[in-house]
């Protein structure tokens, strides 16, 4: 209402007073209004005023620019919000998605599965060393998802029709469509998982950001992440990473305990 009558008022009270009024309302807005704090990183990124009810401010308050940029590049901010809103625990899901995004920025081919691979290799090294020393490895706590989620899809079955992604987007699937070899008619479940976590445009742009020779692998890694997110909503691949982390710690302890008397024996 104020804004509507402002022009008339300014004419009456003159330029100087108008400016003072502008200053004082700016001052009020800055120090007393809901905009007390700097805009959230999304609104700051878009150079927009951050409304009091901004949906992003709780996830990307001022100062979390790198997190916002990573999420915006990898998932897109709108997708991020819809995935978080559908998750059982929204704050946990948001932090997990941010870590997923940052992992994909750090390793554009493997993303989070790069970390999982390193951990699994470490588990295998530790197991081998324990076996070599004749030490029982103990409880097999790695769940089945390990094998399932770390094996990239090998078989490629081309079919003549459009790929699932183009069909979903109601687009013509060109002969050189980069998703044709991936989203065959046998992989509808994978496509649905990818649609839920990434959506086709971001899935594609994440693929396009890596060298051509590694695009297929990057795609399979994103499919694995999407599968894991579907299986463990709000945590996704982190479930596997946490399990592997625990196993590395457990095997390391087992090895250290077994080494201890051996060393003593050598020393004495």
Q: How far is the CB of 87 from Zn ion (least distance, A)?
A: 20
Q: Is 179 in the site for Zn ion (CB under 5 A)?
A: yes
- Residue 61 or residue 114: which is nearer to Zn ion going by CB? 61
- Residue 97 or residue 248: which is nearer to Zn ion going by CB? 97
Q: For residue 237, what are its two tokens?
A: 């691949």
Q: For residue 255, what are its two tokens?
A: 């090895």
**Total Cβ atoms within 10 A of residue 235:** 22
- Residue 112 or residue 183: which is nearer to Zn ion going by CB? 183
Binding string, residues 28-67; x marks residues near Zn ion by CB under 5 A? ------------x--x------x---x-xx----------
Residue from 103, 109, 123, 166 touching Zn ion (CB under 5 A): that is 166
Q: How far is the CB of 44 from Zn ion (least distance, A)?
A: 8
Torsion of CA 240, 246, 250, 251, to 10 degrees: 40
Q: How far is the CB of 258 from Zn ion (least distance, A)?
A: 54
Closest CA to 111 of 149, 78, 145, 81: 149
**Residues 6+ away with beta carbon under 8 Å from 249:** none
Please, are residues 173 and 163 in contact by the beta-carbon 8 Å criterion? yes
Q: Is 81 in the site for Zn ion (CB under 5 A)?
A: no
Within 33-83, strands assigned E span none
Size of the residue set binding Zn ion (CB under 5 A): 12
**Residues 6+ away with beta carbon under 8 Å from 142:** 123, 243, 244, 247
Q: How far is the CB of 61 from Zn ion (least distance, A)?
A: 9
**Interface residue list for Zn ion (CB under 5 A):** 40, 43, 50, 54, 56-57, 163, 166, 173, 177, 179-180
């Amino acid at each position: 209402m104020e804004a509507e009558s402002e022009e008339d008022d300014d004419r009456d009270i003159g330029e100087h007073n108008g400016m003072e009024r502008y200053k004082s309302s700016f001052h009020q807005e800055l120090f007393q209004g809901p905009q007390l704090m700097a805009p959230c990183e999304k609104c700051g990124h878009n150079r927009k005023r951050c409304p009091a009810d901004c949906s992003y401010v709780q996830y990307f308050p001022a100062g979390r620019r790198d997190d916002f940029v990573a999420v915006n590049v990898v998932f897109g901010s709108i997708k991020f919000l819809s995935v978080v809103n559908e998750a059982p625990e929204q704050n946990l899901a948001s932090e997990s998605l941010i870590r997923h995004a940052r992992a994909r920025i750090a390793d554009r081919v493997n993303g989070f599965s790069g970390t999982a691979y390193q951990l699994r290799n470490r588990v295998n090294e530790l197991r081998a060393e324990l076996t070599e020393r004749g030490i029982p490895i103990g409880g097999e706590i790695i769940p089945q998802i390990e094998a399932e989620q770390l094996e990239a899809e090998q078989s490629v079955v081309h079919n003549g029709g459009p790929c699932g992604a183009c069909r979903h987007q109601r687009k013509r699937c060109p002969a050189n469509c980069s998703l044709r070899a991936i989203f065959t008619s046998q992989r509808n479940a994978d496509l649905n998982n990818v649609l839920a976590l990434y959506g086709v445009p971001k899935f594609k742009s994440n693929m396009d950001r890596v060298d051509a020779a590694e695009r297929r692998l990057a795609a399979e890694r994103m499919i694995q992440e999407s599968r894991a997110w579907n299986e463990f909503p709000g945590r996704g691949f982190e479930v596997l990473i946490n399990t592997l982390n625990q196993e590395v710690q457990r095997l390391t302890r087992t090895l250290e305990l077994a080494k201890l008397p051996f060393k003593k024996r050598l020393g004495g």
